Amino acid sequence: MTNPLQQAAQAIVAGKHVIAVTGAGISVESGIPDFRSPSGIWNTYPPEQYATIDAFMADPDRVWNMWYDLGAMLSDAAPNPGHHALTALQDMGRLDAVITQNIDNLHEEAGCTTVIEYHGNAKHMRCLDCQRVVPLDMDKRTSKAPRCTCGGIMKPDVVLFGDLIPEEAVRAADHAAENADVVIIVGTSATVYPAAQLPITAKHNGAFIIECNLEATDFTARITDAFLEGPAGTTLPTLVEAVLEILQ
């Protein structure tokens, strides 16, 4: 019997279209807490009160205060070995795309070139009136929501609860999930839909599912073929090593 690590590595080597679906867990070791951790920013700013489109529209100034705090935390964060391991797989020609629910830009900062941002990117903001997208300039922080040159209110260019997922990201992610023969799920609790549907779609089409998580999730019993338990900053580099060993 081969162990889950070997099974996962063999699936990646045999796979023609390998994708990764990542969530907040992959960035925890970069110092960005996920929604579930008991301490940190989400305690001060409960997501259901600050990360909904209704909360934003009701009081943009109040919600921007939280986004500036979050922005400061994101600018301090750097990619960790988990992000770098996925980039290494990409550079070896073994990973087609990373679909991420994260808004922290860390896959890009790790050199990943095929990132499908399912929930947008907090380093940018978008005008609610003219849709112009510009970088978020932390130095221009005031107590008010930033304004566009057209006078419109700027919103962080992220998908808030109640927002639609950007059409292009949905199309690209659906296409990648439908064609994948291996999916590496990393650090997502499988609770936020429709992102959580992507590995399920792939599984229905026959994909082999690798899950790298600290603990079992709703995916584990339902669709996971190889569960790699532990922090992604350890399990993903180990997985890359196991792939390299087979290839040597």
Binding site for ligand NAD (CB under 6 A): 23-25, 27-29, 32, 34-36, 101-104, 119, 187-189, 191-192, 212-215, 217, 231-232
What lies within 8 Å, CB to CB, of 105 at 6+ separation is 74, 121, 122, 123
**247 lies in the site for Zn ion, by CB under 5 A:** no
* Closer CB to Zn ion, 111 or 152, in the complex: 152
**246 lies in the site for Zn ion, by CB under 5 A:** no
**Partner from ligand NAD, Zn ion, none binding residue 127, C-beta < 5-8 Å depending on class:** Zn ion
Of 11, 106, 116, 127, the one binding Zn ion by CB under 5 A: 127
- Of the candidates 62, 45, 55, which has an alpha carbon nearest to the alpha carbon of residue 143? 62
* Closer CB to Zn ion, 77 or 148, in the complex: 148
**91 lies in the site for Zn ion, by CB under 5 A:** no
**Least distance (Å) between residue 52 CB and Zn ion:** 22
Residue nearest to ligand NAD (CB): 25
**Least distance (Å) between residue 130 CB and ligand NAD:** 25
* Closer CB to ligand NAD, 129 or 241, in the complex: 241
**4 lies in the site for Zn ion, by CB under 5 A:** no
Percent helix, strand and coil across the chain, each rounded to 5? 45, 20, 35
* Closer CB to ligand NAD, 40 or 93, in the complex: 40
Q: Which two tokens stand for residue 103?
A: 């808004």
**Partner from Zn ion, ligand NAD, none binding residue 90, C-beta < 5-8 Å depending on class:** none
Task: Count Cβ atoms below 10 Å from residue 117 Cβ, excluding itself.
Answer: 25
119 an active-site residue? yes
| 158, 165 contact by CB (below 8 A) | no
Q: How far apart are CA 67 and CA 233, in angstroms?
A: 26
**130 lies in the site for Zn ion, by CB under 5 A:** yes
Rg of the chain over Cα atoms, rounded to whole angstroms, equals: 18
* Strand ranges, E, within the chain: 18-22, 97-100, 115-117, 120-127, 133-135, 154-158, 182-186, 208-213, 226-229
Sheet bearing 120-127, strands edge to edge: 133-135, 120-127, 154-158
Catalytic positions, please?
119
Residues that bind Zn ion (CB under 5 A): 127, 129-130, 132, 148, 150, 152
